Amino acid sequence: MKKFNQFFLEKQVLGLIEFFDVDGIGKIPSKLDSGNGAFNVIHGEDVQVQGNKVHFKTVNNKRLMKDKVDDIIINVGAGNTEERPVVEFDLKIGNKEFKDIPFSVGNRSTNLFKILVSKDFIEQHLDALIDVSQENIADEEIEASY
C-alpha cells in the first residue's frame, strides 16, 4: 500500500480550467468536472446526423464533420433526457497527447466553457488531481511539498 505522501507525489496537478488543444479546432479553455461521470462534452450547434456522420458548428463557429461512433442518452436535469451523438477527437493537454477520445456533442452555448472533461477521462487518462483554486497550470512544472 502506498503512503499518503507518495500517492500525491506521483500525481500531476491540474487546475479546474485547463486549455485542451483539440485537433481541428485549436486550444479551448475546458472545465475539468470531477462530478460528471458521463462522456466528455463538446459544444455543438446545428447538429445534423446523416448516417454515420455528424455535422455541427462548434467553438469559434468552426463547422465540423465527424464520424459518429455512438449515441448516448444524457440526463440533463429535472428528469429531462437528451440523446446526443458521440464523436472522437485527438487532443493534447500540457505535454500529453490522446487519440480517439469520445465526446458527446451538446449545445453548451449558455455555458462559459465549451468543453466539459469527464471524471472518467480525468481518472483513466490524465491520472491527475484537480486544484480548484488554479487555472491553466498543465504546462507548469509543479512540485509537491510536505
Q: For residues 89 and 103, is the Cβ–Cβ distance under 8 A? A: yes
The pLDDT score that the predictor gives to residue 1 is 60
Calpha distance 115→87 (Å, rounded): 13
Question: Whole-model pTM?
Answer: 0.85
DSSP code string of 65-111? EEE--EEEEEEEETTEEEEEEEEEEEEEETTEEEEEEEEEEE--TTS
Percent of the chain with pLDDT over 70: 88
Q: Could you tell me how many residues make up the chain?
A: 146
Average model confidence (pLDDT) for the chain? 86
The pLDDT score that the predictor gives to residue 26 is 92
The pLDDT score that the predictor gives to residue 143 is 42
Percent of the chain with pLDDT over 90: 55
The pLDDT score that the predictor gives to residue 39 is 83
pLDDT digits (tens, 9 = 90+) for 87-112: 999 999 888 899 999 999 999 999 99
C-alpha cell at 71: 449515441
C-alpha cell at 80: 429531462
Calpha distance 76→141 (Å, rounded): 37
The pLDDT score that the predictor gives to residue 7 is 56
C-alpha dist (Å) from residue 93 to 48, 64, 73, 84:
29, 21, 27, 25
Which value, to the nearest 10 degrees, does the dihedral of the CA atoms of residues 124, 98, 61, 15 take? Answer: 50
pLDDT-derived band at 144, boundaries 50, 70, 90: very low
Calpha distance 44→64 (Å, rounded): 9
**Better-predicted residue by pLDDT, 41 or 124:** 41
Q: Is the model's pLDDT at 145 over the cut of 90? A: no
pLDDT-derived band at 146, boundaries 50, 70, 90: very low
